[in-house]
């Protein structure tokens, strides 16, 4: 497919360049300096001794006397019709040259008669060279200047031309045309967003056959705004629309419009729409449109003039854009709250397509798409991986499989196995294992801290979020981790489950206090997390005696341009009541968790002892200790060294991967949305 005609840049000459970019005076000054230097080097009299000047008769006499050791006769018609130049050397004698220096070389010029020529030839000291014509002498003197001028052209003039061409194209659009044959993407390459694909399928049909809609009097949306979290596949979906419709796809980022000079962004917007009209039917995709589409007049001192003019130009072009021309504008952003309201009105970005995080079925579909490029073992169950990775976007799932492939390659495996995926997921979410040297006191503190979390979750769990693994091996900033695996995607947060999560989060601190008689800073992340959950319960979810009222937080929106002053959503009395309720919820769960740990003190000790012995135990071991008082399942050895391969790898187990949020204090717990 050939590029649009407007992409062909017109030829420009130096004389058309702006005067501030091309200054011929500077070039001529440098050229004059260069010529002067060359002239001084070539024609200036040297400081060394030059030849002594003789007459033709003197040379003949000295040749007959045997004083000449060697000589050269060279014809030169520029002196006379039969003129010659004779150069040579005398015997080791001291002569005075023209500049007064001692020399034994000589030069003579003038007419040479036949008799004198015979006398020189008889001395057998002279040789003849071909004659030098006027043309050859001119070439010898002119060719070096031609080479010098050519060199100056390539060094200076070509760069000035390129600079001028860049200056004249400064206001041109930087949209890139996707090569359809090489980079073609279809809906088969996009998974996990079936609803979004249905929304944009109308665009594909319109681009293929626009008359089908215009005959009915319908109008396709002029612009489609894709909204979603980072990595959910907004750009990929836009490319799939172009691939399905088999039309040109222009891609540009919102930051490509914003420049330091006012008016450049607006010029690029106009040029981009002009390209679209010439290549219709086509798609124009603007990624991260919030870079140029933010609310106008934002901030105390006003907004950015260049960005606002660019936005105004975009609004005008879209308002006057005729959809019958077959050009669709698709934009993507993960910050729809900061966009200007004029962009979202009907007639511009009429339709908003929300590309959400994939559910369990969508994650499995995404994994199957990316697994085509990975050499997976037959035992790898993508459905199990999808169930254990809630909240991960498509890009994160692709990164998970890539990390698994890298781990398998480092372990010298031929295929990626389930244990590689499990380790890759833990590495991505929690960080790499760090075999940090800890003394017995720190190990005991960490073991009881994690045992407190695991014990309370094992006792209070309703089956939706069981314990998957407990470890005292440091990962990231955490000295230990308690991991959970959800049985399904948790879309809502029940009050009982949130209270259980608060009690579980406090279990580590309570275990430290009851067993060791002291508390540490390891519960810092747990305290922040339980406070966040309690605040959500009181202020957002209405799970307190204050009633179903959304109190929210104090908001500062100066830089969004909505308000200049700070807005207070609650009074001081209500804020005091909110603090009291948050403190009450946490205190009640602290007492509840203390009672549970006290009643199951023996189980707490056995879980901690198992952690000190094995470093990592599974969730089933925690349940066995709570129910039977001992572990009845064998603990899989963490590291197995194969001497023949000289590699270390973990034993393969058919374990599901999990997803949870790690806290800096050393424990993990799900975070409410």
Query: What's residue 500's pLDDT?
Result: 92
CA distances from 36 to 29, 32, 40, 41, 406 (A): 11, 6, 6, 9, 64
Percentage of the chain surpassing pLDDT 90? 14
DSSP-H helix ranges across 372-494: 382-387, 394-410, 418-430, 440-460
Query: For 632-661, how does the pLDDT look when each residue is reduced to its tens digit (9 = 90+)?
Result: 888 875 443 333 333 334 333 333 333 333
pTM of the model: 0.63
Q: Which two tokens stand for residue 547?
A: 């009633």
Query: What's residue 6's pLDDT?
Result: 43
Q: Which of residues 600 and 288 earns the better pLDDT score?
A: 600
Number of Cβ within 10 Å of residue 372's Cβ equals: 8
What is the rounded average pLDDT of the residues 175-203? 73
Query: What's residue 592's pLDDT?
Result: 94
Query: For 369-405, how does the pLDDT look when each residue is reduced to its tens digit (9 = 90+)?
Result: 888 888 888 888 888 888 878 888 888 898 999 999 9
What is the rounded average pLDDT of the residues 516-537? 91
Look at residues 173, 278, 283 and name the one whose alpha carbon lies nearest to residue 222.
283
The pLDDT of residue 299 is above 50: yes
Report cis status (omega within 30 of 0) of the bond before 595: no
The pLDDT of residue 564 is above 60: no
Separation between Cα atoms, residue 537 and residue 544, nearest integer Å: 7
Please tell me the least confidently modeled range out of 53-67, 270-284, 583-597, 641-655: 641-655
What is the rounded average pLDDT of the residues 522-527? 89
Per-residue pLDDT band at 64 (split at 50, 70, 90): confident
Q: Which of residues 262 and 241 earns the better pLDDT score?
A: 241
Query: What's residue 499's pLDDT?
Result: 94
Per-residue pLDDT band at 537 (split at 50, 70, 90): very high
What is the rounded average pLDDT of the residues 569-593? 92
Query: For 213-234, how does the pLDDT look when each residue is reduced to its tens digit (9 = 90+)?
Result: 777 777 777 788 888 888 888 8
The pLDDT of residue 197 is above 90: no
The pLDDT of residue 201 is above 70: yes
Phi/psi region, residue 517 (left: phi>0; alpha: psi -120 to 50; beta: rest), is left
Please tell me the least confidently modeled range out of 230-239, 312-321, 448-457: 312-321
Number of Cβ within 10 Å of residue 493's Cβ equals: 16
Query: What's residue 58's pLDDT?
Result: 80
Q: In the Cβ-directed half-sphere of 122, how many Cα atoms lie within 13 Å?
A: 11
Q: Which of residues 126 and 564 earns the better pLDDT score?
A: 126
567 and 550 in contact (C-beta within 8 Å)?
no
Q: What is the b/e burial string over 618-655, where b = at least 16 CB atoms within 10 angstroms of the residue's CB?
A: bbebbbbbbeeeebeeeeeeeeeeeeeeeeebeeeeeb
Query: What's residue 654's pLDDT?
Result: 37
Paired residues of 110 in beta bridges: 84
The pLDDT of residue 534 is above 90: yes
Query: For 411-465, how does the pLDDT look when each residue is reduced to its tens digit (9 = 90+)?
Result: 898 899 988 888 888 887 777 777 766 778 888 999 999 999 999 988 988 777 8
Query: What's residue 531's pLDDT?
Result: 95
Look at residues 202, 224, 488, 243 and name the one whose alpha carbon lies nearest to residue 333.
224
List 308, 426, 450, 618, catalytic entry: 450
Separation between Cα atoms, residue 121 and residue 346, nearest integer Å: 105
Query: For 137-160, how does the pLDDT look when each residue is reduced to its tens digit (9 = 90+)?
Result: 677 677 777 877 777 777 666 665
Separation between Cα atoms, residue 284 and residue 248, nearest integer Å: 9
Look at residues 531, 528, 547, 457 and name the one whose alpha carbon lies nearest to residue 497.
457
Query: What's residue 27's pLDDT?
Result: 63
Radius of gyration of the chain (CA): 43
Q: Mean pLDDT over all residues of the chain? A: 75
Residue 215's Cβ-count burial label (10 Å; 0-12, 13-18, 19+) is exposed
Chain centre distance of CA 395: 14
Separation between Cα atoms, residue 231 and residue 224, nearest integer Å: 18
What is the rounded average pLDDT of the residues 38-54? 59
What is the rounded average pLDDT of the residues 177-185? 63
Look at residues 478, 469, 486, 579 and name the one whose alpha carbon lies nearest to residue 535.
579
Which one of 49-58, 145-154, 489-498 scores highest in mean pLDDT? 489-498
What is the rounded average pLDDT of the residues 572-577? 90
The pLDDT of residue 128 is above 70: yes
DSSP state of 154: I
Return the SS3 of 396: helix
Percentage of the chain surpassing pLDDT 70? 73
Does 624 participate in catalysis according to the annotation? Answer: no
Query: What's residue 28's pLDDT?
Result: 66
Separation between Cα atoms, residue 421 and residue 404, nearest integer Å: 5
- What is the bridge-based pairing of β-strands 105-111 and 616-618? unpaired
Query: What's residue 568's pLDDT?
Result: 62
């Amino acid at each position: 497919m050939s590029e649009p005609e407007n992409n062909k840049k017109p030829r420009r000459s130096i004389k058309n360049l702006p005067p501030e970019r091309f200054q011929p005076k500077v070039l001529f000054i440098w050229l004059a300096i260069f010529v002067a230097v060359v002239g001084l080097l070539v024609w200036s009299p040297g400081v060394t001794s030059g030849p002594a000047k003789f007459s033709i008769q003197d040379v003949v006499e000295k040749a007959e006397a045997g004083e000449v050791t060697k000589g050269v006769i060279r014809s030169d018609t520029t002196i006379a019709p039969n003129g010659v130049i004779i150069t040579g050397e005398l015997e080791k004698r001291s002569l005075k040259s023209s500049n007064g220096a001692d020399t034994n070389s000589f030069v003579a010029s003038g007419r040479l008669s036949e008799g004198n020529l015979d006398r020189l030839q008889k001395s057998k000291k002279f040789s003849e060279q071909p004659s030098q014509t006027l043309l050859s002498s001119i070439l010898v003197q002119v060719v070096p200047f031609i080479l010098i001028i050519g060199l100056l052209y390539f060094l200076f003039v070509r760069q000035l031309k390129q600079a001028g061409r860049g200056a004249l194209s400064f206001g041109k659009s930087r949209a890139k045309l996707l090569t359809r044959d090489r980079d073609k993407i279809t809906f088969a390459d996009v998974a996990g967003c079936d609803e979004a694909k249905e929304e944009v399928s109308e665009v594909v049909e319109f681009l293929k056959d626009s008359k089908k809609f215009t005959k009915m009097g319908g109008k396709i949306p002029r612009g489609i705004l894709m909204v979603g979290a980072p990595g959910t596949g907004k750009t990929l979906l836009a490319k799939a629309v172009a691939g399905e419709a088999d039309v040109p796809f222009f891609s540009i980022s919102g930051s490509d419009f914003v420049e330091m000079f006012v008016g450049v962004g607006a010029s690029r917007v106009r040029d981009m729409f002009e390209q679209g009209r010439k290549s219709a039917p086509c798609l124009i995709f603007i990624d991260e449109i919030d870079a140029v589409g933010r609310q106008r007049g934002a901030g105390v001192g006003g907004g950015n003039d260049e960005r606002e003019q660019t936005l105004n130009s975009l609004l005008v072009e879209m308002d006057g854009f005729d959809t019958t021309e077959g050009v669709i504008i698709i934009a993507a952003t993960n910050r729809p709250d900061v966009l200007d309201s004029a962009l979202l009105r009907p007639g511009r970005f009429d339709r908003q397509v929300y590309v959400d995080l994939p559910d369990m079925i969508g994650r499995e579909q995404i994994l199957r798409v990316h697994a085509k490029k990975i050499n997976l073992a037959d035992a790898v169950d993508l459905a199990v991986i999808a169930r254990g990775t809630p909240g991960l976007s498509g890009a994160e799932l692709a990164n998970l499989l890539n990390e698994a492939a890298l781990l398998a390659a480092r372990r010298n495996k031929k295929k990626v196995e389930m244990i590689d995926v499990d380790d890759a997921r833990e590495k991505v979410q929690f960080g790499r294992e760090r075999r940090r040297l800890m003394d017995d006191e720190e190990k005991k503190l960490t073991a009881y801290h994690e045992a407190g979390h695991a014990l309370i979750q094992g006792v209070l769990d309703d089956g939706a979020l069981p314990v998957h693994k407990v470890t005292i091996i440091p990962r990231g900033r955490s000295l230990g981790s308690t991991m959970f695996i959800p049985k399904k995607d948790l879309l809502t947060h029940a009050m009982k489950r949130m209270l259980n999560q608060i009690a579980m989060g406090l279990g580590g601190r309570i275990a430290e206090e009851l067993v060791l008689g002291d508390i540490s800073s390891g519960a810092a992340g747990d305290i922040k997390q339980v406070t966040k959950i309690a605040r959500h319960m009181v202020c957002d979810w209405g799970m307190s005696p204050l009633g179903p009222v959304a109190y929210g937080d104090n908001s500062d929106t100066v830089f969004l341009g909505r308000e200049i002053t700070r807005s207070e959503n609650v009074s001081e009395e209500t804020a005091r009541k909110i603090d009291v309720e948050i403190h009450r919820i946490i205190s009640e769960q602290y007492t509840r968790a203390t009672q549970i740990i006290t009643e199951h003190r023996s189980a707490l000790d056995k879980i901690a002892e198992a952690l000190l012995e094995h470093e990592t135990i599974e969730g089933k071991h925690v349940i066995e200790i709570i129910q039977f008082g001992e572990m009845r399942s064998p603990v899989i050895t963490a590291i197995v060294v194969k001497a023949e391969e000289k590699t270390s790898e973990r034993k393969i187990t058919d374990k599901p991967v999990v997803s949870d949020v790690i806290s800096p204090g050393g424990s993990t717990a799900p975070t409410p949305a």
